[in-house]
A and B are shown apart, each in its own frame.
Chain A
Amino acid sequence: MHLNDTPQEAAFRKKVRDFLNQNAKPKDADNLKAARAETRESEADGLARAKKWQKKKAAAGYAAITWPKDYGGMGGTAIQSVIYNQEEAKYHLPRGYFEIGLGMCIPTLIAYADKETLTRYVKPALYGEEIWCQLFSEPAAGSDVAGIRSRVKRDGDDWILNGQKVWTSGAHFSDYGIIVARSDPDQPKHRGLTFFFLDMHAPGVEVRPIKQMSGGSNFNEVFFNDVRIPDSQRLGEVGEGWKVALTTLMNERLAVGMGESADAGDLLEIARDLETENGPAVKDAHIRAKIAEWYAESQGLKYTKMRTLTALSKGETPGPESSIIKIVSARKMQDIGAFAMEMQDMAGVVSDGELSPFGAAFQQQWIWAAGFRIAGGTDEILRNIVAERVLGMPADIRVDKAKPFRDLPTGR
């Protein structure tokens, strides 16, 4: 495991820093408390700022470090991409608008689309002129991603799409989307799917925000009512949409960020300020033990990531150890939020940022973690993946793989 950059990596990091210093303002501190204190801008302002920044970044080659130069990339390595992201996170820069498009959608296009399509769509995406979203999840296709019911029917040179997608990030500001839909319900579920990209402004596409438990709306439902998609926007063969979707999903882990969350160090900080019935919280043996446990988990995650990065740095494929990261971190987020509320005792319920320590970050984290344990693979699905793909346990006996999709029981 390497803890330090190789000389080449250090040189690349310096180049990145120089670029960022010329173009952006560094954050004063990268702790949670400072991050909370930053004023939040509106989405429209953020988007405008993000588009401006993306243009500069793409012109300098940093928008797609690992892509081949033919597509406007830098032709760089995975570790260079990681280094860039580490450095960019230290600056006041808008994030969260182009990651899905450039991390998942365009790479799928690069794998399946013809030259003409790529010439038309790659550059505008890279320069932030057009935004892309990914339309896979449905009300009945969450953990069971292939359970897709959105239906496409062939109509001359076009396809007609009807159905609904859900939990679509950024659909409301996206120009294009990639989508998997069912083209043949008489085939078994994995075989009757076809993959397309579509214009999000096309007639019949309706985007509605989902209000989350947290009160905010970061995702959408997208409804399709007789939406016409030209066959030229099909990616992969008819009925082979699942194979194409797997290409996209392989990139998902890289594209989904985790955001900032309070950790053991933040607990230690509030423990210094709070009192228990027996004196300073920081002197309480139980509190100290909990902080120690979460510190050990956090360090375990940190060095697990280092092992992955080391493999990338050596040009190797990372091992399966990175599959544990979300299993540990989502639950840790929830437990740390809850424990900080415990330390705040009766006032732990207060979610008013003026009255609650750290601007109520712990309370918000506790709400968000309930969703984070589900999003992008539930705790249960991730454990199955570890057991089956890493530990070699036999897979569940499947009842849904051979039968025609339309004969599968659906419940509600």
Chain B
Amino acid sequence: MLADHCPLTAVREILESNKTHNTKLWNQLANMGLLGAAIPEKYGGTNMNMLELCVIAEELGRALAPVPFSSSIYVAAETLKATQNENAKKHWLPKLASGEAIGTFAFSEKAGAPTFANTNTAFDGHKLSGTKMPVPDGMSANFVITTAKNKKDQAVIILADANTPNVKRQNVRTIDPSRKYATITFHDAPAEILAEGDKAEEMMDRILNRSAVLFAFEQLGGADAALEMAQTYARERFAFGRPIGSFQAIKHKLANIYVKNQLARSNCYYAAMTLGSQEESADLAIAAATARISASDAFIFAAQENVQTHGGIGFTWESDCQLFYRRARTLSLVIGAQRRWKERLVRLLEMKNVA
């Protein structure tokens, strides 16, 4: 379906326009029931399972699909599934499953690692005030899941309707305009709590763990597509009377990409198993961080060396190399930089060793 309806020209169309996403593709994903794949039937989904979602993520990644799937499903839907706020669940999950609403997450406020400790966003029990930047899919989202501190200076995870007069948003230019970002400012915006205090910390761990696995699959799909593009070009392009793929410098480059992609694939599969089990496996956090680190590394390397394999033509605007180069870096930062995930992984390993 994605091969037919999401060629790279569709990605380029979003890159070169002010459109937030490809609405036709988005509607098709909704009509096929793919948005609700991992949402329980009770809330309007088809409740297949998380493995289905991993498969979808990989294909979205392969196509560089310019849709808000990751924000709305990997993060917003997965967060809502875990909240005890039944009203929010009932209100938003069916809309996410049908594609009627788009949800997103807003954790960052400025350059640097965002944490509950350094957030300047405040929630007074009813209303939210603060500025978040950059917010993926922030222009198209109907609601935002965000971080704040309550009056007791505790961590809270908040859901705010994005379509109220107290929420202002502005498009933010990024390195990958095929996925749009925004700055969102809340001025006493009506909002509700999804989790508070220790529960908020737990929920953030859950958000990070689950979305890391799904993003890793998306990155894996992109990494394989970038490798295929480089392979094809290396076979077809001739220099010095030979295909450039016959030169060892290019062969080894492609082999190195393949090695990283396969390591990432294996780590993704294991992470999917920990994610898919009924009783959420204790290994999920470690497996998720591991998959995230190797998939980020694989996609960045594949995309970067795909440009290099193409040579001059790869640096032109008309070449599709840039689409991968941009997306790979964007996905590596979207739920926190690699540096932070490496730090997190070692902390998790230390805790496991103590226990």
B8: CB under 8 A from chain A? no
Bound CA span A137–B312, Å:
10
A346-366 interface code vs B (CB 8 A; 1 in, 0 out): 111111100111000001001
- State the Cβ distance, A332 to closest chain B Cβ, in Å: 14
B330-355 interface code vs A (CB 8 A; 1 in, 0 out): 10011111111011000000000000
- State the Cβ distance, B303 to closest chain A Cβ, in Å: 9
- State the Cβ distance, B331 to closest chain A Cβ, in Å: 10
Bound CA span A215–B15, Å:
11
Please determine whether B133 and A349 come into contact, CB atoms closer than 8 angstroms.
no
B7: CB under 8 A from chain A? no
A266: CB under 8 A from chain B? no
Please determine whether A349 and B134 come into contact, CB atoms closer than 8 angstroms.
yes
Closest A residue to B308 by beta carbon equals A373
A386: CB under 8 A from chain B? no
Bound CA span A274–B335, Å:
18
A399: CB under 8 A from chain B? yes
Please determine whether B249 and A215 come into contact, CB atoms closer than 8 angstroms.
no
A119: CB under 8 A from chain B? no
Give the interface segment out of B94-102, B156-164, B167-175, B220-228: B167-175
- State the Cβ distance, B296 to closest chain A Cβ, in Å: 10
- State the Cβ distance, B244 to closest chain A Cβ, in Å: 8
Q: Known A342-B337, A342-B338; judge A350-B134 contact (CB<8 A).
A: yes
Please determine whether B333 and A378 come into contact, CB atoms closer than 8 angstroms.
no
**CB neighbours of A398 from chain B (8 A):** 240-241
Please indicate which of the listed interface residues B115, B300, B333 has the most CB atoms of chain A within 10 Å of its own CB.
B333
**CB neighbours of B112 from chain A (8 A):** 274-276, 281, 343-345, 347
A315: CB under 8 A from chain B? no
B329: CB under 8 A from chain A? yes
Please determine whether B239 and A143 come into contact, CB atoms closer than 8 angstroms.
yes
Please determine whether A349 and B240 come into contact, CB atoms closer than 8 angstroms.
no
Q: Give the interface residue-count category, chain B.
A: 35 or more
Please determine whether A274 and B339 come into contact, CB atoms closer than 8 angstroms.
no
Give the interface segment out of A95-103, A108-116, A231-239, A403-411: A403-411
A50: CB under 8 A from chain B? no
A157: CB under 8 A from chain B? no
Give the interface segment out of B27-35, B80-88, B103-111, B191-199: B103-111
Closest A residue to B332 by beta carbon equals A342
**CB neighbours of A383 from chain B (8 A):** 249
B39: CB under 8 A from chain A? no
Bound CA span A143–B304, Å:
19
**CB neighbours of A268 from chain B (8 A):** none
Closest B residue to A363 by beta carbon equals B175
A371: CB under 8 A from chain B? yes
Please determine whether A374 and B316 come into contact, CB atoms closer than 8 angstroms.
no
Q: Known A345-B108, A345-B112; judge A411-B237 contact (CB<8 A).
A: yes
B263: CB under 8 A from chain A? no
Q: How many residues of A contact B (CB 8 A)?
A: 64
B235-249 interface code vs A (CB 8 A; 1 in, 0 out): 011111111000101
Bound CA span A405–B253, Å:
29
Please determine whether B337 and A348 come into contact, CB atoms closer than 8 angstroms.
yes
Please determine whether A374 and B238 come into contact, CB atoms closer than 8 angstroms.
no
B108-140 interface code vs A (CB 8 A; 1 in, 0 out): 101111110010000000000000011000000
B76: CB under 8 A from chain A? no
Partner of B173, one of A278, A350, A366: A350
Please determine whether A343 and B337 come into contact, CB atoms closer than 8 angstroms.
yes
Partner of A143, one of B173, B311, B316, B329: B311
Partner of B329, one of A366, A400, A410: A366
Q: Known A139-B313, A143-B311; judge A356-B111 contact (CB<8 A).
A: yes
Q: Known A345-B337, A399-B241; judge A277-B134 contact (CB<8 A).
A: no
- 30 A-B pairs whose Cβ atoms sit less than 8 Å apart in the complex: A147-B240, A210-B316, A210-B317, A213-B307, A273-B111, A277-B340, A281-B112, A286-B343, A338-B300, A342-B333, A344-B337, A346-B334, A347-B110, A348-B329, A349-B134, A349-B175, A349-B334, A350-B111, A350-B133, A352-B173, A355-B172, A357-B111, A366-B329, A370-B307, A370-B315, A384-B249, A399-B241, A400-B241, A411-B236, A411-B237
With A374-B314, A400-B240, A409-B241 known, 12 other A-B pairs at CB within 8 A are A342-B338, A342-B339, A346-B107, A346-B334, A348-B333, A348-B337, A349-B174, A350-B111, A350-B133, A370-B307, A383-B249, A408-B238
Enumerate chain B interface residues (CB-CB to A < 8 A): 107-108, 110-115, 118, 133-134, 172-176, 181, 183, 236-243, 247, 249-250, 253, 300, 304, 307-308, 311-319, 321-322, 325, 329-330, 333-340, 342-343
Enumerate chain A interface residues (CB-CB to B < 8 A): 137, 139-140, 142-144, 147, 166-167, 210-213, 215, 270, 273-278, 281, 286-287, 334, 338, 341-352, 355-357, 363, 366-367, 370-371, 373-375, 378-380, 383-384, 396, 398-400, 403, 408-412
